[in-house]
Amino acid sequence: MPRKRLTREESRDQTRERLLEAGAAVIAKKGLAGSSVEDIAAHAGYTRGAFYSNFGSKNDLFIDLLKRDHADIQESMQQILDAGLSKKDLQTRLAEFYVQAYCGETSFALWAEARVCSLRDPKFRARLNALMLEKRDTIGHFIELFCKAMDKQLNVPGRDLAFGMMALVDGVRFFNVCMPKELPEENAKDVLHTVFAALFFD
């Protein structure tokens, strides 16, 4: 195996990458406060030195992590939005929201963790809110578009309702993850579908 001899920058990026990946795994498993810098570095195959050479603090790495994941989510939402808008397809697309949200298990845990951090630390909250609001806007925009297409009048601004839909999707996913026996995937989808239908189709 002719392992390529890495340039300095490549090497640095690689470590950074690995640290982020390890951070995601470790933080998802033990929570932010429960993960030591050493944990993360070791999990990535490095020492603390590498960590501090790449990130200012655990918080910084965590925010980076969230930003990345957020960008991914935003992008896949945009893709759905941009794709096409035939009334028929829209309904299908709507259902995809749930599946779309948090493809991975770690992603979900990360955002749950972010929630509580946000609840406690105003500085963190400010940084997270920015991301949440971006998401809210995307979804809100989608809702308005959707309602216009369906000739459905709502008595709440789409931006506000977007919060509700985010809450719903997140929360239902949470129950689904924590007690898959009591709320299996299928039922979770049904619940969402029922609410969506009641809101947008009846």
Partner DNA sequence: GCACTCTAATACATGATTGTATTTGAATTC
Partner DNA sequence: GAATTCAAATACAATCATGTATTAGAGTGC
Q: Which residues bind its own copies (CB under 8 A)?
A: 29-31, 33-34, 108-109, 112-113, 115-120, 125, 128-129, 132-133, 136, 154-156, 160-161, 163-164, 166-168, 170-172, 174-175, 177-179, 182-183, 187-188, 190-192, 194-195, 198-199, 202
Residue 92 binds DNA (CB under 7 A):
no
**41 vs 161 by CB, closer to DNA:** 41
Token representation of residue 165:
């839909």
Query: Closer CB to its own copies, residue 12 or residue 168?
Result: 168
Which of its own copies, DNA, none does residue 89 bind to, with CB < 5 to 8 Å depending on kind? Answer: none
Residues contacting residue 41 through CB under 8 Å, at least 6 positions apart: 19, 22, 47, 48, 49, 50, 51
Smallest gap from Cβ 139 to its own copies, in A, equals 12
Q: Which of 1, 28, 3 is nearest to 14 (CA)?
A: 3
The residue among 40, 102, 16, 37 whose CA lies nearest residue 66 is 102
Selection from its own copies, DNA, none that 47 binds (CB < 5 to 8 A by kind) is DNA
Nearest partner of 188 among 177, 202, 200, judged by Cα:
177
Which x/- pattern, by CB under 7 A, does the window 39-78 give for DNA? x-x----xxxxx-xxx--xx--------------------
| Rg, C-alpha atoms of the chain | 20
Among 22, 37, 65, 161, binds DNA (CB under 7 A): 37
Any idea what DSSP says for residue 101?
Answer: S
Are the beta carbons of 158 and 144 closer than 8 angstroms? yes
- Read off φ and ψ for residue 121, nearest 5 degrees: -115, 110
State which of residues 1, 2, 9, 144 lies at the interface with DNA (CB under 7 A). Answer: 9
Residue type for 59, please?
N
Least distance to DNA, CB of residue 34, Å: 8
* Cβ–Cβ under 8 Å, residues 37 and 48: yes
The correct pick among 38, 105, 121, 185 for binding DNA (CB under 7 A) is 38
In the complex with DNA, which residue's Cβ is closer, 14 or 194? 14
